[in-house]
Amino acid sequence: MSLTHLVSTIRFQKSLESQDPKKVPPKVPYWTPFVCHMISLMRTPAPFADDLMKKYGYNIPLSIQAGLMKLCFVSSPEQIQTIFKDSKSLSSKPSTLYCLKNIIDTPPEVLPYYAADDSGMANKIRKGSVVTKQEERMHFWAAHTAQKYLSGQTLLSVSERYISTLDRNLEALNIGNDWVEVPDLLKFLQDEITSSTIEALMGSHVLRLNPTLVQDFWEFDYNMPNYVRGLPRWLVPSAFKVRDRMIASMKKWHLFAHEHSDVSKIAPDDPDWDPYFGTKLVKARLFYGMNNKHTNAASRASEDVGLILAGNANVIPSLFWYIYEALKDRTLQDRLMKEVSPCISEQGQLDIVQVTSQPLLQSVFAETLRLRVAITMTRTAEYSDYQLGSYKIKKDIPLVIFSRTAALNAEGWTNAGREPVVPLEKFWAERFLVKPGQKISKTDPELSYAKAQGSAEQTMAGSEKESNFSIEGLAGCWLPFGGGQRMCPGRHLAKHEIIGSFALLFSKYEIEMIDNGLGEPKPDMRWYPMGGLPPMEKFPFRIRKRT
């Protein structure tokens, strides 16, 4: 043991045992001065987080340092819920600014206005804010617009358009009665789902004007680790070039659409969609931006790159794993399709509201995201120190929450009344199903790991009709969309896309795995903790029209 590690270990133990009401979270021992935890945090964040939990448990906040950057890692479900509820004291603005600058390349002349906005996320401007006008509340309007136009009737409109667009695009592939082999399921979904999503959100002309947009987006997404790490242009020039192309594509589309449509047409009686701008969500975002003197054409283009990112980056890998689980387990696939069938009309139209309300379809959705989405949530006390239980969190120190850490916290799930009958490291389709008036817990005599590995009838002691989907009590454990006031406003659309895409594909086509000799696909942990975890290898399949 080096002297540095010995001293830092002694300090850690001393801090852990302190009874001082103003104590700060203990700093995890480290080997190298100044560098501290930087290498582990940057290179292998997943094993680093897992190791912290094994050594120190989930119940205490831990101080982490990477060079000059200090973080507080929080994994207790109770503390996570406390953080999410305290939107008045805590803000996600620093992480938002980081994404605006490093990921979507918001122009430097616009960033200071985002940084200066301290008005909060409530309907009323925060007392003491330097912002005095509602139209200058840049963070509030971004969240408020998404929440408004990705719920209710407008959500239904965009979801139905997405399904009809995907159906049309799949028909155009001319897949007939003979098997067609496809070398990579993820690539297939990236092509077909992304183009359908972009058209449903942004209209049909954006893809016509920019025929390489889908390809450019996935190259942009592939470079996400480079952007997140803040690598300079000279070191990764191709990453910057593809992002430049994305932004240029958005500018080109904006100019064309403004010549043919009007972004101010967002009243209730205005059309929900047009081929130039697409949805009212897109129009409202642009309308606000054009009436805000602090934004410009480049910043609005960058924000729409962000919209494409938000609509696809996590959905597509999640859909991959949803489909994979159905292909791997034919019994599960049959049970899922038993729920899908009543949701399709005699004319072949899918009822998106009905299908996304089915218990098993929802449970597989929730379980897929639990196991295959690894996001980071941060909150920062911008105005004063923050008291988290018995620990004082200093002002401007980010509180960091990893969704996958919470997803694998067996103690937390047990305390929530959801004892992990099947280990949390494994996929279990029924994890989010409960019997009417009863939670799945360790006191349930009908459930055991052995039974859970058996037949569906044994596992659930009946059909899905006798069970309900529920995430009740899991606010600190199931976090694929974040939590609190800043929970992802696109979560309902993502659910409609994933379940709806599965239902459409498997109702109209037969799909089978092709053995590639590599065994089960593994999630690529290089994307931890940046969102959906894609598979490491190509996954071949074959497809044909149902007869």
Is the Cβ–Cβ distance between 531 and 166 less than 8 Å? Answer: no
The pLDDT of residue 34 is 86
Are 392 and 72 in contact by the 8 Å Cβ rule? The answer is no
- Residue 41 domain flag: yes
Of 265, 267, 280, 254, residue with least CA distance to 150:
280
Nearest in space to 503 (alpha carbons), one of 273, 260, 339, 297: 339
Domain interval for residue 13? 3-91+376-407
Structure tokens at 95: 């992480």
| Separation of alpha carbons 475 and 481, rounded Å | 11
**Residue from 281, 289, 308 nearest 198 by CA:** 308
Is 501:341 a contact under the CB 8 Å cutoff?
no
Q: What's the distance, Cα to Cα, between the start and end of the chain in Å?
A: 68
Which residue in this structure is represented by tokens 């980081």? Answer: 98
Rounded to whole angstroms, the Cα distance separating 98 from 6 reads 34
**Residues flagged as binding site for heme:** 488
List, as residue ranges, the binding site.
488
Question: Mean pLDDT, 10 residues at a time, over the chain (547 residues)?
Answer: 85 89 92 89 89 93 93 97 93 96 98 95 91 92 96 97 98 96 98 99 99 99 95 98 99 99 97 98 97 96 98 98 98 98 95 98 99 97 94 96 97 95 98 79 38 41 72 96 94 99 98 92 94 97 96
Token couple for 182: 């496809």
Position 455 in a domain: no
For residue 15, being part of any structural domain is answered with yes
The pLDDT value given to residue 443: 36
User: Coil, strand, or helix at residue 66?
Assistant: strand
Beta-carbon contacts of 208 under 8 Å, excluding residues fewer than 6 positions away, are: none
Could you tell me how many residues make up the chain?
Answer: 547
CB of 411 within 8 A of CB of 418?
A: no
Structure tokens at 54: 């094994």
**Euclidean distance between CA atoms 300 and 286, whole angstroms:** 7
**439 falls within a domain:** no
pLDDT at res. 455: 38
pLDDT at 20: 87
Contacts of 521 (CB under 8 A, 6+ apart): 324, 535, 536, 537, 539
Q: What is the DSSP letter of 36?
A: B
- Could you tell me the CATH number of the domain that includes residue 26? 3.30.43.20
**Helix residue spans in 313-376 (DSSP H):** 315-328, 330-340, 352-355, 359-372
**530 domain residue, yes or no:** no
Three-state DSSP at 542 gives: strand
Q: What is the DSSP string of 445-509?
A: TT--HHHHTS-HHHHHTS-GGG-EE--TT-TTT--TT--GGGS-TTHHHHHHHHHHHHHHHHHHE
Report how many domains make up the chain.
Answer: 1
Q: Give how far the C-alpha of residue 459 lies from the chain's centroid of Cα atoms, to the nearest Å.
A: 29
Question: Per DSSP, what are the bridge partners of residue 270?
Answer: none
> What is d(CA 304, CA 355) in angstroms, rounded to the nearest whole number?
29
Q: Is residue 34 in a domain?
A: yes
Asked if residue 288 is part of any domain, the answer here is no
Q: Is residue 150 part of a domain?
A: no
Predicted pLDDT at 438: 62
What is the pTM assigned to this prediction?
0.94
